[in-house]
Amino acid sequence: MLSLLYNWKAFKLLKKYELVSHKYINVMVSHHGCWSELTSGNYIDTLINIEYSSFDVLKASRIAMIRGSKENIKGQIKNIMTKDRSIIDFDISEIVSDNNKYSIYLISMLQEAENTMISKLRAKGTSIIGTTIRDGKEIYDVIVPRDVKTLVVDAIIKDDRVKIINFVEKDVNEEIIFKVISRNSFEMLLTEKERMLLRKARELGYFNVPRDRNSQELAKQLGVSKMNISFSLRKILKKISDLMD
């Protein structure tokens, strides 16, 4: 909920100053030598707070969800953190456990600021509205003035440890901001199979009105039964509806 509040404040700021001269950028990168590179497909987290000290040290707080057995998860995260030499100190606290299906942790870390993507982006005049680690990749949602957009791209490319996997640039509007806010929440809850199902259903026009494909056609495309599709979509809707309580 803290990340939602943080992003909602960013949205209100955009509305207040009518940033029509700005661009939205979503960039996914692999970051060689960073702890994020060592996380697996069952790990996803989102940044909820950052602070800077006068000693060029960044303090970051993240909410992490790890799917699967609880056995030695905390030890695995510690092992990943200790392999990143830019991390000065860290603390891991378990918040929620759900019968070995997944665990949720609060991760707080102190890191040399100059080695972080966050600092590189902020130094170029960006407003960061979303930061996620998923499948060993770092994903950033930022708002940039049009006249510094090229500087932001150059800052990423000039770091030889960083490789751009995906880059999307769009004009800023309300729909984009709401998507950023909601996506970070939903992706923490949905499995990779559920995310893949939603992407495929959208691509095939299942959610169009009227529909371009029905559930039977969607099931055929995915090589599963119609019942499987219906059950999976109900599970996804249940997770989304639970967020509305």
Which range among 2-6, 64-68, 190-194, 236-240 shows the weakest confidence by mean pLDDT?
2-6
Output DSSP code: residue 118.
H
Reported as a pLDDT band with limits 50, 70 and 90, residue 110 is: very high
Q: Which of 88, 87, 94 is nearest to 31 (CA)?
A: 87
Mean pLDDT of 219-226: 86
Q: Is the pLDDT of residue 149 over 70?
A: no
Give the sign of the dihedral formed by CA 199, CA 204, CA 207, CA 208: positive
Q: Is the pLDDT of residue 138 over 90?
A: yes
Match 């070995």 to its residue by tokens: 100
Residues in CB range of 189: below 8 A, 6 or more apart: 65, 239, 243
Mean pLDDT of 54-81: 83
- The pair of three-digit structure tokens given for residue 88, joined into one six-digit string: 């000065």
| Cα distance between residue 208 and residue 186, in whole Å | 20
- 8 vs 238: which has the higher pLDDT: 238
Q: Is the pLDDT of residue 113 over 80?
A: yes
Provide the strand spans (E) within the chain: 22-31, 43-52, 57-67, 87-97, 102-112, 127-134, 137-145, 162-171
Residues above pLDDT 90, as percent of the chain: 13
What are the pLDDT digits (tens) for 150-182? 777 777 777 788 888 988 888 888 788 777 777
| Cα distance between residue 87 and residue 109, in whole Å | 7
| Cα distance between residue 108 and residue 57, in whole Å | 13
Mean pLDDT of the chain, nearest integer: 80
Write down the pLDDT at residue 223. 87
Write down the pLDDT at residue 9. 56
Sheet of 22-31, strand order: 87-97, 102-112, 57-67, 43-52, 127-134, 137-145, 22-31, 162-171
Mean pLDDT of 209-227: 85
Write down the pLDDT at residue 2. 43
Confirm if 187 and 58 have CB atoms less than 8 A apart.
no
- The pair of three-digit structure tokens given for residue 18, joined into one six-digit string: 């009518």
Q: Is the pLDDT of residue 128 over 70?
A: yes
What are the pLDDT digits (tens) for 6-64? 555 555 555 554 445 788 888 899 999 899 999 987 888 888 888 887 788 999 999 88
Helix (H, G, I), strand (E, B) or coil at 7: helix
Q: Own/partner pairs for 95-100, CB < 8 Å, 24+ apart?
A: 95/63, 97/70, 100/68, 100/69, 100/70
Which range among 29-38, 76-85, 160-169, 201-210 shows the weakest confidence by mean pLDDT?
201-210
Q: Is the pLDDT of residue 1 over 50?
A: no
Residues above pLDDT 70, as percent of the chain: 82
Write down the pLDDT at residue 5. 47
Write down the pLDDT at residue 244. 57
Write down the pLDDT at residue 109. 92
φ, ψ of residue 9 to 5 degrees: the values are -65, -40
